[in-house]
Amino acid sequence: MITTTSSAGGHSTRSRPRRGRLVRWLLLVPVTLAVLLALLFFGGGGWYFSGQIYADGLQVRRSGYDYGQEVVAASGGTVTIADPADEQPLLDRDDVWGLRWRHASGSEDAVGFGQISGDGTGEGDVTRRLEVLVGQPPEPGDLVDLDRSGFPEDPEVALGRPVEEVSYGSGAFPAWYVPGDGSTWAVLVHGKGADRTEMLRMMRTTVSDGMPSLAITYRNDVGVLQDESGIYQFGRTEWPELDAAVRYAQDNGAQDVVLLGASMGGAIIASYLRNVPDAPVSAVVLDSPMLDFGQAVSYGASQRTLPVLGRVPEALTWTAKQIAALRYGVDWSDLDYLEDSSWLDVPTLLVHGSEDKTVPVTLSQQLAEAHPDEVDLVVVPGAGHMASWNVDPDGYDAALAGFLDRL
C-alpha cells in the first residue's frame, strides 16, 4: 500500500510546489506593473508628443498678430511701450524690429507700421527710437505687435521702387518681381507659416545689387492650392513650385539663378536641388535653414521638461516620432538633407543665430563642415530663429552683399 509521508512539522510536501508558484507569481507582479507603466508612459506620452509635433511643425497655419503691449507715449521719434511684467523681453534689447499698431477699439487691421531700434530704456515702460514707415505715429492707448520681418506687407515700402505682381506655375502661384540688370536672377523662398514679406530683408540687397528678384509663394500659402496631405512637407512636396519659379525666370531671360531661402524655405531649396541635379543655380543663401526636421524635433523636445523626470527622455522623443510617422505620414529620412548633402555643389552663404531655439545652429554647422570649400557660415551671437538681421541689420546686409559681389 502506498502511503504519504509528512515533514517534521506535519505538513504535506505537496504544499511546497504550490508555495513556489505563488512566490514566482508575486515576483512577477512588480515586473508586470513596470511593463504596463512603461507601455502607458511611452504609448500615451508618445501619442501626446506626436500631436505636439503636428501642432508645432506640421499643421498649416499662418503667423498671426499678437497685440500684447500698449503704447504709453509717442513723440519726437520715440515710442514708449508698457511692459510691466516683462512679457516681451525683446523690447529691452537694441535689436531692430518692425512695430505694427492699431487702436485698442479698432479692427485687426494695422493702422500704422514702423521700425524700433536703439537700446530700450526704462523699467516697466520701455522707450525705443521709432521710424514710422506707414500711417500716422502711434498714440497712447494703441496696441502694438512686434514683427520680425521688419517691414510692412507692401513690398514697395521696403524696396523703395515699383514691384510687379506676377504669377508662375500656370498662373497658380503669385510672386513679387523687381526687374534688374543682367541674366542672374534672385529667387527668394520664405519659411513655414510666413509669407513673402519675410524675404524683403534679403530682397533689399538683391535689388540694390541690380539682380532681377522674384519672391515666390508655394503650396499651403494663403490663396493658393493646399497640399493634399494637409500638412507642411518641408520640401518633400513643395519643391515643384520652386522648379516652376526657376523655369519662369529662365523663360524671362535668366541664364542662372541665386536661390535664397529662410527656415523651411531652405529645406525647399535643398529638396529642389536634390530632385533637379541639373538646375541652373549658381549660388545659394540660407538663413536658419531647416535641413533636418527630425533633428529639429529632437532639439525642441530636449528643451522641454516633465514633472519629476525633468528633461524629456530621448526614448520618448523617438517613440513620438515613430507615432507621428504613422499618424501623419512623416518620412523622417526624406526630410533629412544632411545625411547626404551631395545636392550642394555651388558657393553658399549660411547665416544662423547662435540662440536659435527652433532650428539648431548645429544643422548649419554640419552642412558647413561637409562642404568647407563651398560654404561660408556666419553665426550671429545672441540671435534667435530668423532674427540675425534684427540683431545686426548692417552686418547682415554687408555679409549678403559681399557674398553676391564675389559671384
Tens digit of each residue's pLDDT, the chain (407 residues): 444 444 444 444 555 566 555 555 555 545 555 445 555 555 677 888 899 999 999 999 887 788 889 999 999 899 999 987 777 888 888 999 999 999 887 666 668 999 999 988 777 899 999 999 999 999 999 999 999 999 999 999 999 999 999 999 988 999 999 999 999 999 999 999 999 999 999 999 999 999 999 999 999 999 999 999 999 999 999 999 999 999 999 999 999 999 999 999 999 999 999 999 999 999 999 999 999 999 999 999 998 876 756 687 888 899 889 999 999 999 999 999 999 999 999 999 999 999 999 999 999 999 999 999 999 999 999 999 999 999 999 999 999 999 999 99
pLDDT of residue 84: 77
SS3 307: coil
**Rounded distance between C-alpha atoms, residue 295 and residue 336, angstroms:** 8
pLDDT in tens, 364-386: 999 999 999 999 999 999 999 99
Going 88 to 94 to 97 to 100, the CA torsion angle's sign is positive
The alpha carbons of the chain give a radius of gyration, in whole angstroms, of 28
pLDDT of residue 41: 52
**Rounded distance between C-alpha atoms, residue 362 and residue 379, angstroms:** 10
Parse the chain into domains and list their residue ranges.
19-56+297-328, 69-147, 155-292+336-405
Q: Which amino acid is at 355?
A: E
pLDDT of residue 120: 81
Cα 395 vs. chain centroid, distance in angstroms? Answer: 22
**69-147 topology per CATH:** Thrombin, subunit H (2.40.10)
Class of domain 155-292+336-405: alpha beta
Number of CB atoms found within 10 A of residue 197's CB: 22
Q: Which amino acid is at 333?
A: S
**Rounded distance between C-alpha atoms, residue 267 and residue 273, angstroms:** 10
pLDDT of residue 46: 81
CA angle 99, 103, 106 (to 5 degrees): 125
